[in-house]
Amino acid sequence: MGRRRERKQRQEAERRSEVALAAAEAVVHAPSLDEFAADVLDWPGVRAHLVPLAGSALGRRAVLELAPRDDDGARAALARVAELVALGGDEPGTSDLYDPLPALDRARTASVVLAPEELLGLLSFLKGAVRLCAWLTDRADRAPQLARLADGAPRLESLAELLESGIDRRGEVRDDASPRLAKLRAAQADITQRIERRVRAIANSPELRNVLSPGMQGTVHLRDGRAVLAVKAKSIGQVPGIVHDHSGTGETVFVEPREVIELGNELAVVRADVQREVQRLLVEWTRAALERQDRIEKLAARMVEVELALVGKRLCERLGARVPDVASTAEGLVLRAARHPLLAWQVLEGRLDACVPIDLRLGEPFRVLVVTGPNTGGKTLALKTAGLCALMTRLGLPFPLDAGSKVPLYRGIVADIGDEQGVEQSLSTFSASLVRIAAGLPRAGPRVLFLLDELGGGTDPADGAALGAALLEWLLARSAPTLATTHIGKLKEFGFGHPGAENASVEFDVETLRPTYRLVVGAPGESRALVIARRLGLPGDVLARAEALVDRGGEESRRLMGEIQSARVSAERAREEAAKQHVDATRRSEDLARAQADLEARRALVADEAQVELERRLGGARDGVAALRRVVPQVGGAVRGELDQALAALERALAGAALTERRRAFVEGLRKGDFVYLPRQKKKVQVHKVEREKGTLRVRLGNLDLEVPLDEATAFETL
């Protein structure tokens, strides 16, 4: 009764804490993947690579269901990834985070009872969440964003206790899950043993030796839960009883002897009672779980965030990804050495020799960037890389790029990428493109990124250029950040004639006739058709006539364009050089800070070891003083007085050599589960028990449990 009362009190405390938690947690509806053109930007392919990085079923489902976050959520998720990366090899285990939510949803919607293995999975999740929250709390000083996931997490100890008292490690209902079940299981075992003894005695009787099937004498079989003997079919009449089954050959029949039929019936009744009691318990436990489903879901949501942070960390480890700085829309998008994750994975798997990184900028002083250049030069890849980076930042995930990269938290992405025709709508490539663009225009604004591939293509170049320029002007007027690629030469002039717009090009090596995939901001792509034709051996007269027919505009216009282009490229290069110097300076500052922290850690470790050695030696001196004190009463006269004074002075001197504040804080703060360093063994060990009265620690060293003096342990620092 006392235990039941304690459980009810704990449940009530949990309900009160959950009311406060629900009031503190506001649900914010973030954009959907469709609003970020996720399919067009290859997110499903990237997601397929991320799923195996999760450590549990809960984490894998979370990756599959990951959706864009609100601003605060994205920043917090990125911070959690950065914290885990900073922790290095110190990483929580999540393999025991069973996913309980599908089973709970099914139990609620279909009104079914949770199976014992599902309840065991729920128990595994609850216990794993407790361990994970403890891990997070212990690292609050180094990972505050992660630790917040443990702060105020729903407490479900009473449910865990209920399930643990009823389900064993094999996922079966315990015999002592209830007093009635314990009694019934004991009765079942007793009757079963009585039946087996009686059937075995019958089987071993001499008169049945030639009646039973060869090799089965003395063996008790089960058919439909009844104890039977394997009897030769031709001798069936010599074993009175009920036939329950035949062998495949028909030469053997399985007979329940008449002597145990009554006991078998009694056993069947008890088994039915056991099953009813087990079902009653499963209903009770399922109801208890469903009553707490909201709290379980909230706890699972917090554990999911830990798993997603681990996925982000592992992405950093495998692809050299990093968490970008979150920028304002005014600062714009800055990508340094960005690589498309799918290409980076191909390099990692040996299916691609190299992935050329992309440098790209879209922000003040320009919000529209028009990229020109040859086919297969990387224009579309640049658009997809930029868009995917913006999406993954909104998802709270890192991206393969270098320091100095900045990514705004866009509220959406409009992407017209690819040349698919709208077959079902009987649309041409041009028409299908316009349909996609038109659908996104109502969302245009400073926080929606537009990615327009082959703008103005698929129709007459003059019409395409006019429509493309008008569309860019419209987006520019609404401050919509826009990356557009095109083959139309007329659109190259857009960047020269509109403040807030800029040109860029993808380089092409005319010597090798191959693209370099490098993006150059400030310069439009030049036509390489005639150069390529000459290198490929077209007749000189054909090339001469082609050059004469090319309309290149007036000489003065070309000269001015060239000067503007040269000035812009020079300014962009100067800006890039300044930005790189800033990044290098920041990196050197970070390296210096890490080196300083390492130095402080080493200095603290040396100080701790010195303190331990000092305390060891002082301990020996105190032992010597104590031994002398025991001898003093045996000394008489003036010598005894002098000896008392000398010992008192020595004791005062030893008392002055007290523990340092750092050492005192270390000793007082020691708890079970902490790690300490034993200088004598040169080993890091975990504390199992602190016995301050005895001045000892219980630790585990390899396979040994040891008791060591507190004086021999020092703080463990990761160097």
Strands (E), 150-234: 221-223, 226-232
Residue ranges of domains in the chain: 2-31+42-156+292-316, 179-277, 321-551, 588-715
Q: CB within 8 A of 77, min separation 6: which ones?
A: 69, 305, 308, 309, 312, 395, 396, 397
Architecture of domain 588-715: Roll (2.30)
Q: What is the DSSP-derived secondary structure letter of residue 431? A: H
Mean pLDDT of successive 10-residue stretches along the chain, which has 719 residues? 55 50 43 91 96 94 95 95 92 89 94 94 93 91 92 91 92 92 93 87 77 70 83 80 83 84 89 94 95 95 96 95 90 92 93 88 88 75 94 97 93 82 50 87 94 84 87 93 87 82 78 70 64 73 74 48 52 60 65 63 59 62 71 68 74 58 70 78 79 82 77 62
pLDDT of residue 719: 35
State residue 356's pLDDT score. 85
- CA dist 213 and 236 (Å) reads 11
Q: What is the pLDDT of residue 560?
A: 46
Domains 2-31+42-156+292-316 and 588-715 share a fold: no
Residue 373 in 3-state DSSP? coil
Token look-up 């088994």 returns 271
Domain 321-551 adopts which CATH fold?
Rossmann fold (3.40.50)
Q: In sequence order, what are the residues at sequence separation of 6 or more whose Cβ sits closer than 8 angstroms to the Cβ of residue 128?
A: 94, 96, 97, 98, 303
Residue 136 is which amino acid? L
At 454 the three-state DSSP class reads coil
Res 465: pLDDT: 86
The rounded distance, in Å, linking the Cα atoms of 477 and 371 is 19
pLDDT of residue 427: 52
Residues near 368 by beta carbon (within 8 Å), at least 6 away in sequence: 472, 475, 476, 481, 482, 484, 494, 495, 498, 500, 501, 502
The whole-angstrom separation of Cα 390 and Cα 411 is: 10
DSSP, res 165:
T
What string of H, E and C letters represents the secondary structure of 672-699? CCCEEEECCCCEEEEEEEEECCCCEEEE
- Torsion of Cα atoms, 694 then 696 then 697 then 700, to 10°: -120
**Closest by CA position to 81, among listed 327, 405, 395:** 395
In this structure, the strands spanning 448-452 and 412-416 are parallel
* 674 vs 644: CA distance, rounded Å: 43
Task: Map tokens 């984490």 to a residue.
Answer: 59
Phi then psi for 144, rounded to 5 degrees? Answer: -65, -35
Q: Which residues of 126-150 are buried (b: 16+ CB within 10 A; e: fewer)?
A: bbbbbebbebbeebeeebebbbbbb
d(CA 389, CA 409): 10
**Residue 519 phi, psi dihedral angles, 5° rounding:** -95, 130
Interatomic CA distance for residues 381 and 103, integer angstroms: 42
Nearest to 239 by CA among 213, 262, 263: 213
Write down the pLDDT at residue 557.
45
Token representation of residue 476: 């520019």
Question: Which 3 state secondary structure label does DSSP give 8?
Answer: helix
Q: What is the dihedral of CA 647, 649, 650, 656, to 10 degrees?
A: 150
Residue 502: strand pairing partners: 369
What dotted CATH number matches 2-31+42-156+292-316?
Answer: 1.10.1420
Looking at domain 179-277, its CATH architecture is: Orthogonal Bundle (1.10)
Single-letter residue type at 263: L
Strands 482-486 and 252-257: unpaired
* Overall pTM surpassing 0.75 (yes/no): no
> What's the pLDDT score for residue 22?
44
